[in-house]
Amino acid sequence: MSHFAPLGLIELLAGIENGLSPATSIARAMERIEAVDGGIGAFATLAPPESLGAAAKASGPLAGVPLGIKDIFDTADMATAYGSPIHAGFRPSSDAVLVAMARAAGAAVMGKTVTTEFAFLQPAATGNPAAPGHTPGGSSSGSAAAVAAGMVAGAFGSQTAGSVIRPAAFCGVAGFKPSFRLLPTVGMKCSAWTLDTAGLFAATVADVAMLAERLSGRPLSVRQDAVPALRLGLYRSAVDGRIEPAMREAWETAARLAERAGARLVEIEEPAALARARQAQETIQFYESALSLTHERRLHADELSPRLREALEKGAAIEPAAYDEARRTARQARRAVTALFGEVDALLAPSALGPAPASLASTGDPVMNRLWTLTGNPCVSVPGLRASDGRPLGLSVVARFGRDGQALALASWLEGLLSRPK
């Protein structure tokens, strides 16, 4: 078997509540990892037996739930290498805050999932279980693949441009990029401090919403089957000319189904302030990343990939005045996005330009995700549609800042529509 079906977190929790022991759940997860990860390469490091033993005895709202943790989050019991040989074997003295929260809730950290080099552009060797021979996306490559392959019920990722939403779309699972700073990034390797956002993966939107609720203590789980009087904005951006035919068809299919179910569709042409902001996101990311990795750039340049070294040199060449202007553009963009939600309840947009590219030499283009990372709005990648060759396609539901529960509820409603017989 090359992989298992994705493991539903809600279904697993129901089984645990009905007598499945956390120890058994954890043992089964390890069996699945051992059975299929050799052909996928989602995990960089597996948890030591003593950590899994402690998790088997833990209690809490996530007791018995196996998780994968992207290898840019610090873990005290495992090496944290950030996808780079520079930090190979590094053992932090404490867990990242989000990892500590998961353990406090009873979750079993099964291991560290593969990340691209410092969560940037250099592809990792992880395969895509849902589209063999194609990229799983990046930088949260291993997290998306581990969930898609049924090895774990949830996983942590991070997004600075498109590193949660795009891998979720390519691997056919749900991805949740919360409102900026809803989940803590303390103890996560910094790439760009005004953009870095911790995110989550699970099999379905309802599953990822439940994971978010039980981690954060916020009322985020999906509690409704219908969304009445929905005004759904079809977000038409300045880069839509690059969208592939399969994604255009998926977008149109989802919009048509939503309209039939009672949603009122509203065409939203991208304001000029938001078109400018997409480029500003890249300026901010490159400038801040060059500063964040100053130590590695100065003392370990030969151990950086040529792709990352070139990107950091580009960032280091950006003048502070240009960076400050990009930050002003970002502030204007956040105001412009907020104004859009006076017209609609949510936006619907592609999660990527198309399905996963047929190459492991690229993680795909994050251009469809940059804007929502910059503005900090909650974004959910909804699985359920596929290209004609079977590769998954993801669509993004975007909501007003701080309305994460609404974004998840609307995304789950849309996922339900997509799962019905056509």
| C-alpha span between 103 and 55 (Å, rounded) | 8
Q: Per-residue pLDDT for 190 more than 70?
A: yes
**Total Cβ atoms within 10 A of residue 275:** 16
Write the pLDDT tens digit of every residue in 201-231.
Answer: 999 999 999 999 999 999 999 986 656 669 9
CATH of domain 9-216: 3.90.1300.10
Q: What are phi and psi of 43, to 5 degrees?
A: -105, 135
pLDDT digits (tens, 9 = 90+) for 225-265: 656 669 999 999 999 999 999 999 999 999 999 999 999 99
Question: Do the beta carbons of residue 397 and residue 407 sit within 8 Å?
Answer: yes
Q: What is the CATH architecture assignment of 231-270+343-419?
A: 3-Layer(aba) Sandwich (3.40)
Task: Read off the pTM.
Answer: 0.98
Pair 151, 6: CB distance under 8 Å: no
pLDDT of 66 reads 99
Q: pLDDT tier at 121 (50, 70, 90 boundaries)?
A: confident
Amino acid 206: pLDDT:
97
Asked if 263 and 230 count as a contact pair (C-beta separation under 8 A), the reply is: yes
pLDDT tens by residue, 80-112: 999 999 999 999 999 999 999 999 999 999 999
Task: Give me the pLDDT at residue 422, please.
Answer: 58
> 194 and 209 in contact (C-beta within 8 Å)?
no
Tokens 């873990």 identify what position?
75
CA distance 297 to 320: 19
**Which amino acid is present at 78?**
M
8 Å CB contact between 115 and 139: yes
For residue 158, cis peptide bond before it (omega within 30 degrees of 0): no
Q: In 3D, which of 122, 110, 123, 170 has the Cα closest to residue 145?
A: 170
Residue 7 has pLDDT above 90, yes or no: yes
The kind and range of the H/E element at 406 are helix 404-419
Cα of 234 vs its chain's centroid, Å: 22
Per-residue pLDDT tens for 269-327?
999 999 999 999 999 999 999 999 999 999 999 999 999 999 999 999 999 999 999 99
Share of the chain above pLDDT 90, in %: 96
Give the burial class of 285: count Cβ atoms within 10 A of its Cβ; 0-12 exposed, 13-18 middle, 19 or more buried.
buried
Length of the chain, please?
422
Residues 45-50, mean pLDDT to the nearest whole number: 98
SS3 content of the chain, % helix, strand, coil (to 5): 40, 15, 40
Q: Examine the pLDDT at 181 and tell me if it is beyond 80.
A: yes
CA distance 326 to 341: 23
> Which one-letter amino acid corresponds to residue 255?
A
Give the list of residues 6+ apart from residue 274 with CB closer than 8 angstroms, or none.
237, 333, 336, 337, 371, 375
Identify the burial level of 185 via C-beta atoms within 10 angstroms of its C-beta, where 0-12 means exposed, 13-18 middle and 19 or more buried: buried
The domain locations on the chain are 9-216, 231-270+343-419, 274-331
Q: Looking at 306-364, list the stretches that DSSP marks H as alpha helix, in order from N- to C-terminal side.
A: 306-316, 320-340
pLDDT tens-digit series, residues 345-398? 999 999 999 999 998 889 999 999 999 999 999 999 999 999 999 999 999 999
Q: What integer pLDDT is reported at residue 228 of this predicted model?
A: 62
Residue 393 near residue 356 (C-beta atoms within 8 A): no
Partners of 108 in the β-ladder: 66
Check residue 226 and give its pLDDT: 58
Contact 247, 350 (CB under 8 A): yes
Q: What three-state secondary structure class fits 231?
A: strand
